[in-house]
Amino acid sequence: MKVSQHGLGHLLNPLDPDDPSRDWIEDAWRLLLRRAHGLDAEEPHWLDRPALTPVTASGPTVLRWFEGSNEGKPYAERITPANFLLLAHPDPFDPSEALPIAPYEPDTSRWDEITWIDRRTGKPVGITTTPADGVMRPGVVRVRTYRDVLNGYVSHPEAKSLGRDAKPVTGRTVGLLRRRPVEGVLPLVMIGKEGNKLEDRLSGLVTEAPEYRSEFVDPDHTFWTDLVVPVLRKIDRTTLAEKSALSRRTIERQLSGAVRPRETHEQLLAGLAVEYARSELAKRVQTIPRDPMGVLQCFLSEAAEDAARCG
């Protein structure tokens, strides 16, 4: 059996953080598989330890988190570039919103005792693995354990797949999955390498797409040119002029590409295009996309199929 490290490889070995062995990952997947098949499964003793990720103080952003704790200390005792750190993963339901990080500690028994700080504020924060019980614990954040991480995989919906019933996968789907068909939506947006800052994303240092993803948009193919204008061209110009309070000549010039409408006019006309597309789709299809881009794309696809049939 080939054991995948996907989703677990960024975590420390809970048996010995200094041991690069990944045998514990094989034990983790074996535990989940045996449970899924109703077989007896002995739980590893490390399941309820904090699930921690090793990171390096590799840049000014990370070092800024420790400005408060470094203040007044001699250089030898400070967190400095290339120091190893431990990053804990907060329980998403914890109300504190703290993001705990601490100096590297190889002794697993001390992981909940070492000095942690909230990397957002630089202030000290305590961590606990005790399940939430409704009691507020000021200055303490509940962090995910290895048990939490593994349980998350059991109910994790695989967005790229369909279940045996050909429906999108949910947390309760079981059985062999199949690939989910996708359809490109105009305008096309080209993105850079998806593996950018992969380790930082897995560890939680980088969480927002703009921080790691580069996007390239062709200025000649935008939401306005590829979706809005084709729909507006199907609407009577007099109706457009009445609803937008723009002159018919202005609308003609905008739809011909002679001029680009100002932002307020573009938003107004885009809204009219979506309104028209949604009303026309309601006459023909049972399910209409919720988002405006999907509405316009669906309408244009239907119009293209009609033209092909007539042709």
- Give the 3-state secondary structure of 118-153: ECCCCCEEEEECCCCCCCCCCCEEEECEHHHHHHHH
Listed residues 97, 128, 154: the one ending a domain: 154
In terms of domains, do 115 and 229 share one?
A: no
Listed residues 126, 154, 182: the one ending a domain: 154
User: What span, in angstroms and rounded, lies between the C-alpha atoms of 66 and 247?
Assistant: 60
Higher pLDDT, 189 or 48: 48
DSSP 8-state secondary structure symbol assigned to residue 44 = P
pLDDT at 276: 94
Higher pLDDT, 199 or 175: 175
- Half-sphere exposure (CA, 13 Å, Cβ side) for 35? 13
The count of other CB atoms within 10 Å of the CB of residue 123 is 12
Our CA angle for 109, 112, 115, nearest 5°, is 115
pLDDT at 124: 87
Listed residues 105, 127, 154: the one ending a domain: 154
In terms of domains, do 147 and 237 share one?
A: no
Contact 155, 170 (CB under 8 A): no
Highest mean pLDDT among 95-109, 130-144, 246-260: 246-260
Q: Does 174 reside within a domain?
A: no
Regarding pTM above 0.75, the answer is no
Beta strands 215-217; 189-191: pairing state: antiparallel
In terms of domains, do 57 and 141 share one?
A: yes
Q: Does 270 reside within a domain?
A: yes
Highest mean pLDDT among 89-98, 167-176, 250-259, 269-278: 269-278
Contact 231, 276 (CB under 8 A): yes
Q: Does 204 reside within a domain?
A: no
pLDDT tens across 179-220, in order?
Answer: 888 777 777 777 766 555 655 655 556 666 666 677 777 778
Q: Does 104 reside within a domain?
A: yes
Higher pLDDT, 220 or 45: 45
Overall number of domains in the chain: 2
pLDDT at 155: 80
pLDDT at 202: 56
In terms of domains, do 131 and 239 share one?
A: no
In terms of domains, do 38 and 128 share one?
A: yes
Q: Does 47 reside within a domain?
A: yes
Higher pLDDT, 248 or 71: 248
In terms of domains, do 142 and 37 share one?
A: yes
Q: Does 31 reside within a domain?
A: yes
In terms of domains, do 126 and 228 share one?
A: no
Q: Does 46 reside within a domain?
A: yes
Contact 251, 240 (CB under 8 A): yes
Beta strands 100-103; 116-118: pairing state: antiparallel
Q: What are phi and psi of 124, to 5 degrees?
A: -60, 145
In terms of domains, do 129 and 249 share one?
A: no
pLDDT at 210: 66
Q: Provide the domain limits for residue 106.
A: 23-154
pLDDT band at 230 (very low <50, low <70, confident <90, very high): very high
Q: Does 58 reside within a domain?
A: yes
pLDDT at 301: 87
